[in-house]
Amino acid sequence: MKKKHTMSDQPKETSKQINRRGFISKSALFGAGMAVTPLAFASENHASTKKSMNNPTVRNGKRMLGTLEVSPIGLGCMSMKSGSYNPPRDKKDMIPVIRGAVNLGVTFFDTAEVYGPFTDEELVGEALQPIRDKVVIASKFGFELSTGSRGGRNSRPENIRNAVEGMLKRLRTDRIDLLYLHRLDPNVPIEDVAGTVKDLIKEGKALHFGLSEVSPSTIRKAHAEQQVSALQSEYSLIQRALENEVIDTCGELGIGFVPWGPVCRGFLGDKFNEYSRFSEDSRFAAVPYFTPEAIKAHMEVLNLVREWGRRKDATPAQISLAWLLSQKPFIVPIPGTTKLHHVKQNQGALNISFTDAEKIEFRTALEKIPLVGVRAPESALVDQ
């Protein structure tokens, strides 16, 4: 759908301005020159997608995370009030972004108690309270926050229950639609975590169970105790380690997959350029694929995305999101932003499609590009 990928009220930019805005970092974590994903994922993708379509993973313009119906693209709210990647934004500026996203068709909103901590949930709760029954709210537990600041991992049953009681108050709701384990606590068996959430679901305080950054074996153990609706992990054109068994495990078990960082923390959205550098106190400085070497190496990925953008009359961010959506029908990315015009632009990705031949062409070119600082494929088989 030409010319409808960008939104009418988005500031107009010349192609020169767009080119200047973004070519930054190429993620890499486990060494230079590493090709992350086997082409087998691409060649098997069409067949496995057809098989997945036997499940109601796409219907009525929505996607299914297990049995939970959501918009095909959600909104990650982490950066709005947590101060994680930018200074905390004023509530009066962020509430219109969240409510505006609903008007644009977004029904799936992601937050966590650790974001802030607590401030992000408070924002989301206030913004969505008037339209609570029209949206899906996801939040996450799994850290020690009893002192008001982030401690270590804590998924003991009593901490999970305390976390959920706090969530319900901050989110101004009587249930959490999708309750995630944020990170695995090595001191608590995953079966105990799943069992606790199972009880919360029986009590109506949670409706669906999710996991984040865990291995296929942990997914299976949790799913055996309580049906898992969604797995959330980092996945983008640059960070593709989860293609090693994890995404296919989700497809096999009827679990939705929710990529965070789908535009690689802004890199694939033309947020930076090859000269971008970060101060030591910046969160970006600690990300292995935002080193100067990684940025230089991954310019090829951004150039590939821009080339497809020209072919599809789309922005790099739209191409990046559309590519993810095309991989499996149960994938629902949650790009984060603090700007409503970015939400509108992201929604334009829904107008972009790839033929089977185009997906193979894209994947073949992508896998020729060496990556720097990204996760090794074998890391997907270990809980993070």
pLDDT at res. 5: 53
Same domain as 334, residue 277: yes
- Strand pairing of 68-70 and 178-181? unpaired
Same domain as 206, residue 164: yes
On whether residue 239 sits in a domain, the answer given is no
Same domain as 8, residue 87: no
pLDDT at res. 284: 86
Same domain as 214, residue 108: yes
pLDDT per residue as tens, the chain (384 positions): 433 454 333 333 333 333 333 322 222 233 333 333 444 565 455 444 433 333 446 778 999 999 999 999 999 999 998 878 888 999 999 999 999 999 999 999 999 999 999 999 999 999 999 999 999 999 999 999 999 989 999 999 999 999 999 999 999 999 999 999 999 999 999 999 999 999 999 999 999 999 999 999 999 999 999 999 999 999 999 999 999 999 999 999 999 999 999 999 999 998 887 888 988 878 888 899 999 999 999 999 999 999 999 999 999 999 999 999 999 999 999 999 999 999 999 999 999 999 999 999 999 999 999 999 999 999 999 999
User: Which of 333, 297, 368 is closest to 73 using CA atoms?
Assistant: 333
On whether residue 235 sits in a domain, the answer given is no
Same domain as 215, residue 74: yes
Which of 197, 226, 255 terminates a domain? The answer is 226
On whether residue 241 sits in a domain, the answer given is no
Same domain as 218, residue 71: yes
Instruction: Kindly state the tokens that stand for 379.
Output: 């890391």
Same domain as 288, residue 196: no
Rounded to 5°, angle at Cα 134 from 130 and 135: 95
Which of 226, 251, 275 terminates a domain? The answer is 226
pLDDT at res. 30: 35
On whether residue 25 sits in a domain, the answer given is yes
Burial category of 40 from C-beta neighbours within 10 Å (exposed 0-12, middle 13-18, buried 19 and up): exposed
On whether residue 34 sits in a domain, the answer given is yes
On whether residue 201 sits in a domain, the answer given is yes
Same domain as 219, residue 360: no
Alpha-carbon span 142 to 163, nearest angstrom: 8
**φ, ψ at 311 (rounded to 5°):** -65, -35
pLDDT at res. 295: 95
CATH code assigned at 124:
3.20.20.100
The boundaries of the domain holding residue 153 are 67-226
Same domain as 309, residue 342: yes
Q: Which residues are catalytic?
A: 115
In the chain, the number of structural domains is 2
Same domain as 46, residue 88: no
On whether residue 155 sits in a domain, the answer given is yes
On whether residue 329 sits in a domain, the answer given is yes
Same domain as 219, residue 178: yes
pLDDT at res. 41: 63
Which of 204, 226, 248 terminates a domain? The answer is 226
pLDDT at res. 56: 47
Alpha-carbon span 377 to 253, nearest angstrom: 21
Same domain as 297, residue 357: yes
In this structure, the dihedral spanned by the alpha carbons of residues 238, 239, 244 and 248, taken in order and rounded to 10 degrees, is: -90
Is residue 117 within 8 Å of 148, Cβ to Cβ? yes
